[in-house]
Structure 1
């Protein structure tokens, strides 16, 4: 068939074959009976039949398609089936008379027909989001398939196909005529011209082999991994298989990913890296990859526009056109040079740095050793109390440094804290691609290399051979357009010698490109190739050191005892906090929704000042007499119910609960303790003994000592008895345990329980539960311990103490965490009689519990809570957030229930709202996706399927809404 005849296929609509006619073909020619469903296609007509014993796909195409082409597809499938380690592919099915390809006539039109096995699995196209692991898996699949086809040969591969990227230019010209919007047509045409110009010189070096040429989301099937992520492992639809450019195959795959990239072209890089690791590409192929992706994007848009014009009822094409326009827009949002650098960096290719060793000094009158380089990074000592949020702060600090040192400069390659953006779903551009120097005006500036001066609006560019120097803040000494020699003075720093001026310096290797001043962290490596560091001209100190996040994590893993876990598999390096926000070393701001320890928020200046002042005066232990100890104990006692007026000060919640258990034993003379299942109370021997959460200790229920008696967790959502009126049932279930303790004759020391089921996700206990449970414990001489470590101290908003929600008064209150806003501080508050019982066992002492610094920290926290109305804020913002979370239940089946009160909330995820099967893997993946979107969140509960929502109490409504919006985004788009 001639190229012209094949080109005519561009004008063909899908074969006009109805479902009833397709069913007749399947029954009469293949002996298949079942349910018929139409599948989408560009130019074929495809139907799926489910026979009950299996599913198959009927593929109907026009007679314009050579039988040889169809035979090549079938042969490739059989070839792959015969090889080990290849992706899954469908089987080719023969007709009842033993043929793989048959001709059928429908209403006087003849078509070619094949049947393939329907390959089970989920596709990718209609997922709005793919995690990096899925993107990488798609690249790896493409590589394995291409590697397997490297030796495949068939005469049907040598065909003229509109999707063959070797013919992208001519095909685009033919297709563009269908686009009626002249502006869109011109933009698309220009894009293709630019891509072809970059491809042509590389084309002779690009390898040619058999390639699938359509490994896209539509044409792969996936298995779902243990974290609920789709992992491509099968390939379908070999309709575009050709002998073509190997790298063009990967280009097709990468282009298909851009509609899920949310506008970020760097999204494809995991696929490129994974492909290259399996089937390495040459330098020329790597350089051709992005232009080929652009070419593919052009062909996709142009082809769909053309197909819609001749087949306006093709909803499959119409829906795809929306995605293809996203692909095109994303592909054209960046320069070819930037993406080439990004691709080369992703695969670890060596890139030659710019050699500045022979250049002339830029500032010939300045001794480079006298330049003071200013630290504006995330850990800079110049930043405190959010002062970096002032838009002018960097310049103020630079001017101050210059006043002190005479000349000061910012550092290239520094992740600037001032560029951090609060409540942002995207990483902001924080990586500095330039250097600012503050120095006396009038200093001479010389040309480091020979070049031509281009000056527009006071922005000077010295255009050299393969390198441009961009300068701002210069009074020009030469004319615009002048050719200057290396070392020639081209101007002076603006301003008088008696005053300071500013000079901005930036290099760029791309002609006519106006580079950005900052790059996003994921783009930094690529941009630093295009905009190299001035360190070769100004000295090594001109560049900031790279963060050592991975090395530090390796050192942590090497020396920190393994039971001490970390959040996230690949954790960000967090080095600063402010209010409800945390910042990593790349200037990424995260909304902290889990840190209930920092009840006031991070970096509170008033607390830092109070602790610092006290530490300068005195820090010792509580056996000495000083005012802070008396004052703090008095204030804690005043917060507790009447009669609870004796305070023990300790270092942590574990210590507080351990001590409470010891007090119960000392007071009652008994040892047996009653506790709840699914609870966590600490890590010490005694507090761990009454901790029954299998999420914290998988062996918890089987390894409790004989003095610990766990009763059914009164979980009103998924417990043995459900609903708000289930208290009686749970109390009835507790009775046999109490009777067993009674029968043992050793008495009951006490009952310990969180007042709100914090570890299970903030679940409120059924009404009346604690009242009756306390009564039964006290009737046996036991004491009642309210563990308020997580849920108390104003966090519930509506109550200061969690036990107030149940209308009870405990005998012992334990608190910690928020008491010191991160300073190690805990307390036990009890009665005089119970406290006095401990003396018969000796005295009690905690080294830093009750120290002057600890007491001042605790009192300052209480002062700030009152002055900033944080309990009121927990109530108001918490109620608002809870309503936002509850709204998700109506939209997303995975959202089962919202638990809690104030700013201790839990959103429980389930796979089925009837069986309440926990969505454990999904919850972990949701937390990982939230991290990408700038939210720190972790799971809790025995099944780790509840979001543990317990942020600092200073959380604003704006931040609460950002969290709810990002959660809605994840649940809508996927994880």
Structure 2
């Protein structure tokens, strides 16, 4: 691939017509050499069962007639998945895929992990459901195990069923405790799409023209790649943006500029005292956006000066995924008043939780009788305990750190090779690859081109996610059991997809 690197470096300075001719000749030679043929998958010792359910066309018909008319399915020909094993998925035809999106950052320890399966089957044969009106030990055992992983005074847990429900409850807690209404969240934030949390979610397609989530205000997202400030020393990641900055190691100018914008929101858009501030330690749906180092710590201080509470949304960042720490908020050296969690907590089983202080929990109890029929069910909590045990026994947090850093660095090499790869960022096994027309302008790569790259990855056996305001960022968040050979395959598939894309572009320009 050194030949390509050298050529790309040379042609960037040429006129467009010369560049097109050079690229055209080069990609023709690439095709002849077979450098973008399908990379070979790592071996897998699992054989899926034969698919014997609804025919593919029948599935499409039922979906069209009876399921919500929202275009959520990835790919022009949607994948019909049949079975999963650890980091692998199998479709109805038996094709195997490396799952690097894990059900939207949810399958934390691997599809159908044997230990989690065994615990679930055992509990399934013992007791499915009681409700909170009756006690059953798996609930209390899991509560103790989970709370042991959180610092004082975060020692009261409310079990619910989804991330939206967890953030919904956290909003209520903040308002009950402070007796105030105004809540702040970042632009680009995603905290759920229930009627209440839609006020916190600031991603265009999720916004409604009808009233929802009243009392919520957005503030500028401190994005050091796409925002007005930021550069090569600003974020907590093994890979920095290629934007230049003059920040010193202990003084981030971008952080200070974004804090001024946060102060402006506090001074103009909310009351003198507020209910609270919601933040994802790293934004997920917005394309794995990271903030300047030290920003959240200063923002939390400003919120508390306004008598508000600080909420960390760990739905995507928690449970060791970031590698260096078990919780995303720990990477910012902050202590939230409320922590919400879901997704990876149950490895795909629908469960979630809100953890807070005894003081805030009592404030909620004074205002209402909170009850949840399914939250903290015996099944959910037995599975939750098994997930925590697997993370510890199999050193999955450490694997996230080692393999995730390796993956980030390998993907950063692609950023250096291809002009359309604008930014590679993240921490552990939460990675974003932002696609651009060119690095200097940072304008999003057109959606049809991103779609083509996405489709090519799928065709070669790699499933990755999408995110960003313009759907321009590929999201990579595999199960934490992923290996370095898996990463090598994923990177080579992505490289091949980029080569094929540049070949199409050269042919169009020739």
| Matches of 1:122 and 1:889, distance apart in 2 | 20
Q: Does 1:587 align with 2:94?
A: yes
Q: Is the Cα–Cα contact under 8 Å of residues 750 and 783 in structure 1 kept in the other structure?
A: yes
Instruction: Write out aligned runs for 1:431-446 (5 A).
Output: none
| Matches of 2:56 and 2:27, distance apart in 1 | 32
Alpha-carbon deviation of 1:842?
1.9
> Against the structure 1 CA distance between its residues 749 and 769, is the aligned structure 2 distance closer, same or farther, given a 3 Å change threshold?
same
Q: Which one of 242, 257, 268 corresponds to residue 740 of structure 1?
A: 268
Alpha-carbon deviation of 1:689?
1.1
> Against the structure 1 CA distance between its residues 547 and 861, is the aligned structure 2 distance closer, same or farther, given a 3 Å change threshold?
same
Structure 1 residue matching 2:196: 3-state secondary structure: helix
Alpha-carbon deviation of 1:923?
2.0
Q: Is the Cα–Cα contact under 8 Å of residues 107 and 344 in structure 2 kept in the other structure?
A: yes
Q: Could you tell which deviates more after superposition, 817-826 or 717-726? A: 717-726
Q: Which one of 798, 808, 825 corresponds to residue 334 of structure 2?
A: 808
Residue 355 (structure 2) aligns with: 829
Instruction: Write out aligned runs for 1:245-284 (5 A).
Output: none
| Matches of 1:682 and 1:129, distance apart in 2 | 48
Q: Does 1:646 align with 2:156?
A: yes
Alpha-carbon deviation of 1:259?
9.8
Q: Does 1:669 align with 2:182?
A: no
| Matches of 1:920 and 1:698, distance apart in 2 | 22
Structure 1 residue matching 2:266: 3-state secondary structure: helix
Per-residue CA shift, 1:434-474, capped at 9, x if unaligned? xxxxxxxxxxxxxxxxxxxxxxxxxxxxxxxxxxxxxxxxx
Matched positions, count: 455
Instruction: Write out aligned runs for 1:701-850 (5 A).
Output: 706-723=214-231, 724=234, 725=252, 726-741=254-269, 744=271, 747-850=273-376
Residue 4 (structure 2) aligns with: none
Structure 2 residue matching 1:907: 3-state secondary structure: strand
> Against the structure 1 CA distance between its residues 128 and 593, is the aligned structure 2 distance closer, same or farther, given a 3 Å change threshold?
farther
Structure 2 residue matching 1:905: 3-state secondary structure: strand
| Matches of 2:32 and 2:80, distance apart in 1 | 29
Q: Is the Cα–Cα contact under 8 Å of residues 893 and 913 in structure 1 kept in the other structure?
A: yes
Instruction: Write out aligned runs for 1:294-313 (5 A).
Output: none
Structure 2: runs of 5 or more not aligned: 1-16, 39-43, 235-251, 505-510
Q: Does 1:607 align with 2:111?
A: no
Alpha-carbon deviation of 1:835?
0.8
| Matches of 2:175 and 2:22, distance apart in 1 | 59
Residue 76 (structure 2) aligns with: 569
Residue 497 (structure 2) aligns with: 970
Structure 2 residue matching 1:685: 3-state secondary structure: coil
Structure 2 residue matching 1:748: 3-state secondary structure: coil
Instruction: Write out aligned runs for 1:349-368 (5 A).
Output: none
Alpha-carbon deviation of 1:698?
5.9
Structure 1 residue matching 2:258: 3-state secondary structure: helix
Q: Is the Cα–Cα contact under 8 Å of residues 199 and 214 in structure 2 kept in the other structure?
A: no
Alpha-carbon deviation of 1:877?
0.3
Q: Is the Cα–Cα contact under 8 Å of residues 731 and 769 in structure 1 kept in the other structure?
A: yes
Instruction: Write out aligned runs for 1:10-409 (5 A).
Output: 127=27, 388-389=46-47
Alpha-carbon deviation of 1:710?
0.4
Q: Which one of 853, 857, 878 corresponds to residue 383 of structure 2?
A: 857
Q: Which one of 145, 153, 157 corresponds to residue 635 of structure 1?
A: 145
Residue 395 (structure 1) aligns with: none
| Matches of 1:263 and 1:843, distance apart in 2 | 61
| Matches of 1:556 and 1:633, distance apart in 2 | 38
Q: Does 1:617 align with 2:145?
A: no
Per-residue CA shift, 1:577-601, capped at 9, x if unaligned? 1111100111110010111211011
> Against the structure 1 CA distance between its residues 603 and 960, is the aligned structure 2 distance closer, same or farther, given a 3 Å change threshold?
same
Q: Is the Cα–Cα contact under 8 Å of residues 939 and 947 in structure 1 kept in the other structure?
A: yes
Alpha-carbon deviation of 1:808?
0.4
Q: Is the Cα–Cα contact under 8 Å of residues 923 and 939 in structure 1 kept in the other structure?
A: no
> Against the structure 1 CA distance between its residues 912 and 644, is the aligned structure 2 distance closer, same or farther, given a 3 Å change threshold?
same
Q: Which one of 160, 166, 181 corresponds to residue 656 of structure 1?
A: 166
Q: Is the Cα–Cα contact under 8 Å of residues 322 and 427 in structure 2 kept in the other structure?
A: yes
> Against the structure 1 CA distance between its residues 121 and 692, is the aligned structure 2 distance closer, same or farther, given a 3 Å change threshold?
farther
Residue 368 (structure 1) aligns with: none
Q: Is the Cα–Cα contact under 8 Å of residues 230 and 292 in structure 2 kept in the other structure?
A: no
Instruction: Write out aligned runs for 1:931-942 (5 A).
Output: 931-942=458-469
> Against the structure 1 CA distance between its residues 123 and 717, is the aligned structure 2 distance closer, same or farther, given a 3 Å change threshold?
closer
Residue 681 (structure 1) aligns with: 191
| Matches of 2:153 and 2:23, distance apart in 1 | 65
Q: Does 1:890 align with 2:416?
A: yes
| Matches of 1:929 and 1:856, distance apart in 2 | 39
Q: Is the Cα–Cα contact under 8 Å of residues 128 and 973 in structure 1 kept in the other structure?
A: no
Per-residue CA shift, 1:104-124, capped at 9, x if unaligned? xxxxxxxxxxxxxxxx99998
Residue 878 (structure 1) aligns with: 404
> Against the structure 1 CA distance between its residues 704 and 713, is the aligned structure 2 distance closer, same or farther, given a 3 Å change threshold?
farther
Residue 452 (structure 2) aligns with: 925
| Matches of 1:950 and 1:856, distance apart in 2 | 25
> Against the structure 1 CA distance between its residues 261 and 722, is the aligned structure 2 distance closer, same or farther, given a 3 Å change threshold?
closer
Alpha-carbon deviation of 1:622?
2.2
Q: Is the Cα–Cα contact under 8 Å of residues 756 and 803 in structure 1 kept in the other structure?
A: no
| Matches of 2:147 and 2:329, distance apart in 1 | 16
Per-residue CA shift, 1:267-303, capped at 9, x if unaligned? xxxxxxxxxxxxxxxxxxxxxxxxxxxxxxxxxxxxx
| Matches of 2:435 and 2:258, distance apart in 1 | 24
In the superposition, the TM-score normalised over structure 1's length comes to: 0.45
| Matches of 1:954 and 1:924, distance apart in 2 | 28
| Matches of 1:875 and 1:930, distance apart in 2 | 24
Q: Is the Cα–Cα contact under 8 Å of residues 681 and 687 in structure 1 kept in the other structure?
A: yes
> Against the structure 1 CA distance between its residues 768 and 545, is the aligned structure 2 distance closer, same or farther, given a 3 Å change threshold?
closer
| Matches of 1:798 and 1:558, distance apart in 2 | 46
Residue 240 (structure 2) aligns with: none
Q: Is the Cα–Cα contact under 8 Å of residues 622 and 629 in structure 1 kept in the other structure?
A: no
Q: Which has the higher contact order (CA 8 A, sep 6+)?
A: 2
Per-residue CA shift, 1:756-779, capped at 9, x if unaligned? 122232232111111111111111
Residue 107 (structure 2) aligns with: 598
Q: Does 1:900 align with 2:426?
A: yes
| Matches of 1:764 and 1:847, distance apart in 2 | 36
> Against the structure 1 CA distance between its residues 630 and 547, is the aligned structure 2 distance closer, same or farther, given a 3 Å change threshold?
closer
Bigger fraction of residues in strand: 1
| Matches of 1:667 and 1:586, distance apart in 2 | 53
> Against the structure 1 CA distance between its residues 859 and 738, is the aligned structure 2 distance closer, same or farther, given a 3 Å change threshold?
same
Q: Is the Cα–Cα contact under 8 Å of residues 322 and 400 in structure 2 kept in the other structure?
A: yes
Structure 1 residue matching 2:275: 3-state secondary structure: strand
Q: Is the Cα–Cα contact under 8 Å of residues 36 and 497 in structure 2 kept in the other structure?
A: no
Per-residue CA shift, 1:348-388, capped at 9, x if unaligned? xxxxxxxxxxxxxxxxxxxxxxxxxxxxxxxxxxxxxx764
